[in-house]
Amino acid sequence: GAVVSQHPSWVICKSGTSVKIECRSLDFQATTMFWYRQFPKQSLMLMATSNEGSKATYEQGVEKDKFLINHASLTLSTLTVTSAHPEDSSFYICSALGGDQETQYFGPGTRLLVL
Amino acid sequence: LAKTTQPISMDSYEGQEVNITCSHNNIATNDYITWYQQFPSQGPRFIIQGYKTKVTNEVASLFIPADRKSSTLSLPRVSLSDTAVYYCLYSRTDKLIFGTGTRLQVFP
């Protein structure tokens, strides 16, 4: 139980284009999901908290107009990187808060490369 | 939110028991302590979670002293496949703050 999937697992795009990443909780409902970014050899950095049916809460320094988050259902949250640039290349990981409201379960991550 | 403090790296050999200690001096009354394992290019995997004393599951044990300002993850008889980064966090419903983690290298 408590499986979280992400799609796509990797994506390559041209600079200036937008990329959408999906995060799904497969066997449980998640009112809260989180989006992280991880650069090579570094730890995960929280980008935003996504609550179903409401606006996401962004961490300081994260541009909400660049990283659009939509949490339209209890099993799906999406992250759209708008007008991507090479510096946006990173490993993006989502997580979903489990039914105990204490444990986060992580997706496998999405590798984004912007050329 | 304060991050946790744990050793940057540890080395071990196959078959040994590995104990990774984490400090979390600013833990609040309602916080749980959670450990995750992360392999390269994968999302973190939940290992174990506890509130106080000792918790054991099929892969690890978690020891938490009475003051809860630290915790120790114990991995019995590690194998090569346990080579990974291990993160200690205290979790709430709002958000997790990841520290640097401990990079465990298991040698044959």
pLDDT in tens, chain A (115 residues): 689 999 999 999 999 999 999 999 998 998 899 999 999 989 999 999 998 888 899 999 999 999 999 988 999 999 999 999 999 999 999 999 887 777 889 999 999 999 9
8 Å CB contact of B95 and A34: yes
8 Å CB contact of B101 and A49: no
Q: What does the pLDDT average to over B22-29?
A: 87
Q: How far is CA B23 from CA A24, B4, B70, B86, B101, in A?
A: 33, 6, 4, 14, 12
Cα dihedral A53, A54, A58, A62 sign: positive
Angle at A87 between CA B89 and CA A115, to 5 degrees: 130
pLDDT for the residue numbered A62: 95
Q: What does the pLDDT average to over B71-87?
A: 96
Task: Please state, in angstroms and rounded to a whole number, the distance separating the CA atoms of residues A71 and B9.
Answer: 37
Candidates B95, B100, B102, B103: best to mutate against A (most CBs of A within 10 A) is B95
Q: What does the pLDDT average to over B12-18?
A: 97
Q: How far is CA A41 from CA A55, A101, B5, B100, in A?
A: 31, 30, 17, 9
Q: Residue A98: which of A47, A41, A28 has the closest Cα?
A: A28
| Any A CB within 8 A of B41 CB | yes
Alpha helices in B1-108 (DSSP H): none
pLDDT for the residue numbered B92: 64
pLDDT for the residue numbered A97: 87
pLDDT for the residue numbered A37: 96
Q: Residue A63: which of A95, A42, A85, A43 has the closest Cα?
A: A85
pLDDT for the residue numbered B1: 53
Instruction: Enter the DSSP assignment of B5.
Output: B
